[in-house]
Structure 1
Amino acid sequence: MPSQNYVLFYVESPAASATFYRDLLAREPVETSPTFALFALDSGLMFGLWSRHTVEPAAGAAGGGAELAFTVETYAIVDATHADWQARGLSILQAPTTLDFGRTFVATDPDGHRLRVFAPMPEAEGAQ
């Protein structure tokens, strides 16, 4: 089976979204054009931002229909990332909370796509 190593978000403005993600991810895109931008993430995942106006074949869904999750190591990093993203002005849909899988919060990008940061529940707690 082919490798699943790309995620694409359909966005209003690839240039504006590339600027948002360049600042958020602290990295430059590896590819840009008027209708597309691509980031290479540390995990090996390629993260693309494609103009919703030029994607072929045309996509029926508006923005905000996807979620990109970022795994971090500790609950403290979840809380620190939340504070950082809130200070940057990201819209927060869910404040940091502990759920059955661990600690998480959810923010949105300018197109309404959900950005989840989470730390898995520590093994000792999850085994109960």
Structure 2
Amino acid sequence: MRTPNLFLIYVTDVERATRFYNDLFEIEPRMITPRYIPYEVAPGVLFALWSGRCDQVTEAPRTSEVGLMIPGGGVKVDALYDVWVAKGVTVYQEPHDDVFGRTFMITDPDGNLIRVSPTD
């Protein structure tokens, strides 16, 4: 069976986005190119920043989210929110309870949404 193994996040300034995601997720990319920055998030699974078509990226609506599910329930979600707010992130939605548990959302410098929630 084939499963998705590459998730692209469109960015307009790849260097700025790389600094943001390196700091936010405390990870380093597998390699660095002028327009494509991949992070291996699991064996054979890449999360990548892509600015190869930034002339079209700025016109595209933001219709997806990057998701980070963490173990430990609402207490851990709230704790990570505090850590990220201390880093100066832009908060899109403060912590609240939803049908799947405690959650919040921030944005990256390009307005891409990043949601934190408890592990399913």
2:62 matched to which residue of 1?
64
Superposition TM-score, scaled by structure 2 size: 0.86
Whether 1:2 and 2:2 are equivalent positions in the alignment is: yes
Unaligned runs of 5+ in 2: none
Query: What amino acid maps onto 1:7 in structure 2?
Result: F
Other-structure match for 2:105: 106
C-alpha separation in 2, matches of 1:63 and 1:12: 13
Distance 1:54 1:7, change over 3 A: same
- Which residue matches 1:48? 48
Match in the other structure for 2:29: 29
| Local SS of the residue matching 1:86 | helix
Q: Distance in 2 between matches of 1:72 and 1:43?
A: 18
Percent of residue pairs bearing the same amino acid type: 33
| 1: CA distance, partners of 2:43 / 2:82 | 24
Greater shift, 9-18 or 102-111, is seen at: 9-18
Paired residues in the alignment total 119
What do the CA deviations read for 1:73-115 (whole angstroms, capped 9, x no partner)? 1211100110011111111111111111111000000110000
Q: CA deviation at 1:15?
A: 1.5
d(CA) in 2 for partners of 1:90, 1:60: 20
Match of 1:124 in 2: none
Q: Which whole-Å CA distance do the structure 2 matches of 1:105 and 1:34 have between them?
A: 31
Which shifted more, 46-55 or 25-34?
Answer: 46-55
User: What is the TM-score when the length of structure 1 is the normalising length?
Assistant: 0.81
**Deviation at residue 42 of structure 1 after TM alignment:** 4.0
Aligned equivalents of 2:61 and 2:35: distance in 1? 15
The 8 Å contact of residues 35 and 54 in structure 1, kept in 2 or not, is answered as no
Amino acid at match of 2:30: V
Report the aligned-residue RMSD: 2.3
Contact preservation (8 Å) 1:63, 1:113: no
Change (3 A) 1:33 1:52: closer
